Amino acid sequence: MIKQRTIKQSVQETGIGLHKGDKVTMTLRPAPANTGIVFRRVDLEPYADIPARANAVGDTMLCTCISNEQGATISTVEHLASALAGLGIDNIIVEVDSDELPIMDGSASPFIFLLQTAGIQELNAPKRFIKITKPVKVTDGDKWAELRPHDGFRVDFRIDFAHPVISQTRQHMVLDFDSSSYVDEVSRARTFGFMKDLEYMNAHNLALGGSMENAVALDEYRVLNPEGLRYSDEFLKHKILDAIGDLYLGGHSIIGELRAYKTGHGLNNKLLNALLNNQKCWEFVSYETPEALPIRFASPVLSS
């Protein structure tokens, strides 16, 4: 039986919040089977738990923000959620002393490092996957996103930016995770932003913690980061990273194909809710052996 996963031990990291620019301490803790992903605001009295759920998503401007029924919020969850999806971790408690997660370097790679440092352990409960049985599609003007049946997890992803640097890089990719590694192919792709937008965002108290330490910065013609890009198609791969994280707020890995054009956090969440609200389009499945599993995850470090 393919089993649920959590981490072996707690691990802590401190970083900067993207929007407020304040220091944020985050502690990742193991959780029992069937807990899911739970964000815990330890700066509130009493502590507030915010389970990661598709219908908990509110604000999607520049990030994904979720809330609980009492109104407690936590934002910028998508990069950590993407890392959890890439490693197949089902259950974890994420303690934070702020209303946003640390942005780290703008990618999922630091979260991958923390999770692997903590170690991955299997739990004595079957891991359930959401298997797509019929296509589901959502649109927003010329933008669209769709989930289709597929024996594995594959993304067919296209972006369209008129910026001279981005237009010279690959803007369409098909990536199949039965043979490709999330850690190698996607996790290091950083968020990106345009300097012309920064003044507006700062005036609205957004992206106060943004810098070339945690984003790829572009002026009208070029990449400003001295080190350049991590991947030749880093812009495209970061959008894939975001989409994987946004869809993992459904609480389960997806067996199917994600096809998308110019999608963002809001449309990703609209797609996830459209799927979960139409039970004719999906079913829960489990797998008995690793050979039957059509997705590649990192091998767990089994608990002693």
Report the amino acid identity of residue 150: H
Q: Helices (DSSP H) in 65-179: which residue ranges?
A: 78-87, 109-118, 164-167
- Give the C-alpha distances (Å, rounded to integers) separating 292 from 26, 89, 154, 267, 287: 36, 19, 16, 32, 6
Catalytic member of 19, 79, 252, 265:
265
CA atoms of 23 and 11, how far apart (whole Å): 17
Give me the residues paired with residue 172 across strands: 158
Q: Which two tokens stand for residue 178?
A: 């039965």
Peptide bond into 46 cis (omega under 30): yes
Task: Look at the alpha carbons of 50, 13, 84, 157 in this order and tell me if their dihedral is positive or negative.
Answer: positive
Interatomic CA distance for residues 144 and 130, integer angstroms = 21
Distance of alpha carbon 86 from alpha carbon 186, whole angstroms? 9
Question: Residue 11's beta-bridge partner residues?
Answer: 28
Angle of helix 109-118 versus helix 78-87 axis, rounded to 10: 50
Asked if 153 and 295 count as a contact pair (C-beta separation under 8 A), the reply is yes
265 is catalytic: yes
Going through the chain in order, the beta strands assigned E by DSSP cover 3-7, 11-16, 23-29, 37-41, 48-51, 65-67, 73-75, 92-96, 120-126, 129-132, 136-140, 143-148, 153-158, 172-176, 192-194, 216-218, 254-261, 282-285
Q: What is the largest CA-CA distance in the chain?
A: 54
User: Which residues form the catalytic set?
Assistant: 265
